[in-house]
Structure 1
Amino acid sequence: MEYLFTTVPGLEDFVIEELSERFPTSRAKGVYMTGRVVAEVGAEAAELFRLRTVERFGIFLGDGFGEDLSGVVEIAQRHLAGSLRYLTRFTTVGVRCERVGQHGFTSRDVEREVGRWFKERGFTISLVEPDVEVNVDVVESYIAVWITVAKRSLKDRPWRVYEHYASLNPIIANAMVRLAKPKPGETVCDLTCGGGTIVAEAAELYPHARYLCVDISLRHVKGAVKNTAAFPQVDVLWFDSTKLHRAVRPVCDKFVFNPPYGFRIPERVGRLYRLLGKAMRRLARGCATYVVITPRHKTFISQVGGELLFRRVVYQGGLYSHIIAGRICP
């Protein structure tokens, strides 16, 4: 069946990678920075709830490109006939539009016009808990039409007991760990681990590596202990990471972390990154790979140094951030 998957904008190829790992996938396409992937997958919908790079998914009806409201509605109506096989005269229908970008119309305008198409065919429109939810997503000029299967977000993880006030989206954490690709026996260090999202996601994906989760906040460390309780390969440490090399021998084969980016204290961020880079060099067991996410990627690269291997823009929490991977040596 042909499905549409939503994810963090910028991580579309990671969805395709995971699909190809888990299921027979005959074809897949993703439009960069739309957060949308369309794939022909040989799996039942119930099996897809195990995906870790996906937020929501549903049955794909069609897509296209349009600039104004009439263009969006035209593309939607072109594909809506495919939804009729899932409807009866007793079925209520809901229309949902997620819109990203600058447009001369609103999401409500799209929902109203598409809803009219169903009303004209005798279907009852429901704004609350419809039997069938039809999505018309408008991301800049890209339009995707699909039916919701996963109403709850797949990014909610069962291990997350403690919620950090600025917790990283587990989907982003999953992508970062995939870039690091920990090998059995390697130690991965998260120097600013907060509630432990990265190490928990990593331990689930690569269970044969070791993980060190370090944070300066005792409250967050206690939360990380709760979040990683199911993963014995994770050690949690309450310490200042910029001074960790004074207490710990070089043990880190890879670093994966989400450092503070300090829009409120920009003058301190450069110094923090410089100290983290110094600690990384002293903690590295030989040359080590690092993967970090920050909107201040230029500052991080200039202060930490090393060889830049990869850079990717993602859109999260209203910010364009950069996932950067590099190599650092003692």
Structure 2
Amino acid sequence: MSKIELIATATFGLEAVVAREVRDLGYQDVKVENARVTFTGDEAAICRTNLWLRAADRVLVKLGEFQARSFEELFQQTRALPWADWLPENAAFPIEGKSIKSQLHSVPDCQAIVKKAVVEKLKQRYRREWFPENGPRYTIEAALLKDVVTLTLDTSGAGLHKRGYRTLGSQAPLKETLAAAMVLLSYWEPGRTLIDPFCGSGTIPIEAALIGLNAAPGLGRRFAAEKWPVVPAALWNKAREEARDLAAPDRSLHILGSDIDSKVLGLARFHARQAGLEGKVFFQKLAAAELRSSKPYGCVICNPPYGERMGDKGEIEGLYRDLGNSFKKMDTWSCYVLTAHPGFERFFGKRADKKRKLYNGRIECHYYQYYGPRPPRSRNPEEPAPAQQ
């Protein structure tokens, strides 16, 4: 099985970021669509993309795609796919489903038809009438969009945002994948200072540090496909060995997170330790109005409160004014702010050089990008280039 069609799913607005990550890993035939990036690879690509993709939600194996306007079409075309090449005799294979603007709009019925078709296909290979489903998990998704059915196997298991370091909860946490994308969309490089003045439990500074150290975000966790016979353990071992070899743990970083909440700063410090970043990321209690730096160049990257509750509105707008006033004194810096507040630019006091629509969960936001002058060219050729804007 040397050529496999894979899908890296992505939050709306992050598809181009994920596509760049996929290309940087050396994979070709990259196709960008809404909420997903399709590409080709081999079994080793399943390991490497799960370990390395920072902004993707999951990595899926694409088993097939076809039109179906009747249950009979869905059954016959599902049964024709090579399920037994992937699923062993004892595979557990739950069916997940969704249907958008399709004639086959009943998701439970579609799930039942797909399950029956897969079972019939496995019967042909394994010559048995009943399957125990007590082995490795192969979650199958049947996604219908405008009568086109896409059938996939989930190689990731838990979403890729679950790096493993954020074990304690906090209010309204930013997903690790979105935090990483915010950094990748900026002009920050490891030689520059990065400050998050609304750091909360520390996700943006931690993700920036992982990028700066070239640390594979999935190195500390496990994936569903690690139990699949078709993806040998030797491939996972090799991918992890490659990730450890490419890491730059001794690289010097200048990353600071600040907040006015001592409790969440305690969480941030704990999460940084869990991520192996003690001494690489620093946190302090500081109000946005007190933001300043002696460094001539740097990046502010943050996700301030949005003020969803009416009682918060005035306070939140005051925070944006404080941030804008602080940024005026840091005119050689760049500033990147993710917020759902529609009047952000007015309170910040300046129109953004660029805005990008992103989603924080189900909340539609804009990523406001203010570009400072470019610093002198870095002398370190190993430092990664900024993502395409």
Give the TM-score taking structure 2 as reference length.
Answer: 0.72
The match for 1:144 is 150
1:48 to 2:92 alignment: no
The match for 1:36 is 36
The match for 1:253 is 298
CA gap 1:321/1:225 in 2 versus in 1, 3 angstroms:
same
Equivalents in 2 of 1:98, 1:300: separation in Å? 35
Stretches of structure 2 that go unaligned for 5 or more consecutive residues are: 124-128, 214-251, 374-389
1:324 to 2:323 alignment: no
The answer to whether the Cα contact below 8 Å between 1:306 and 1:328 also exists between their aligned partners in 2 is no
For residue 219 of structure 1, report the CA deviation from its aligned partner.
Answer: 0.2
The answer to whether the Cα contact below 8 Å between 2:90 and 2:136 also exists between their aligned partners in 1 is no
Equivalents in 2 of 1:144, 1:4: separation in Å? 11
1:27-82, Cα deviation, whole Å (9 max, x unpaired): 111212xx22211135342223212222221211233677xxx3698468535513
For residue 102 of structure 1, report the CA deviation from its aligned partner.
Answer: 9.8
The DSSP-based 3-state class of the residue aligned with 1:314 is: strand
Matched residues, number? 318
The answer to whether the Cα contact below 8 Å between 2:30 and 2:40 also exists between their aligned partners in 1 is yes
The match for 1:201 is 207
1:192-230, Cα deviation, whole Å (9 max, x unpaired): 000110000001102454111000000011111112233
1:105 to 2:101 alignment: no
For residue 237 of structure 1, report the CA deviation from its aligned partner.
Answer: 0.8
CA gap 1:124/1:311 in 2 versus in 1, 3 angstroms:
farther
CA RMSD of aligned residues (A): 3.1
Q: Of residues 61, 64, 77 in structure 2, which corresponds to 1:62?
A: 64
The match for 1:277 is 324
Give the partner amino acid of 1:235: F
CA gap 1:79/1:36 in 2 versus in 1, 3 angstroms:
farther
Q: Of residues 269, 283, 286 in structure 2, which corresponds to 1:225?
A: 269
1:176 to 2:182 alignment: yes
Give the TM-score taking structure 1 as reference length.
Answer: 0.83
For residue 289 of structure 1, report the CA deviation from its aligned partner.
Answer: 1.6
1:108-161, Cα deviation, whole Å (9 max, x unpaired): 232123223234444758899874332112467764321122212221123324
Give the partner amino acid of 1:275: D
The answer to whether the Cα contact below 8 Å between 1:94 and 1:127 also exists between their aligned partners in 2 is no
Equivalents in 2 of 1:97, 1:271: separation in Å? 44
Stretches of structure 1 that go unaligned for 5 or more consecutive residues are: none
Give the partner amino acid of 1:47: R
CA gap 1:44/1:267 in 2 versus in 1, 3 angstroms:
same
The answer to whether the Cα contact below 8 Å between 1:73 and 1:114 also exists between their aligned partners in 2 is no
Equivalents in 2 of 1:141, 1:289: separation in Å? 45
**% same residue:** 22
Equivalents in 1 of 2:48, 2:365: separation in Å? 31
Q: Which moved more, 1:85-94 or 1:44-53?
A: 85-94
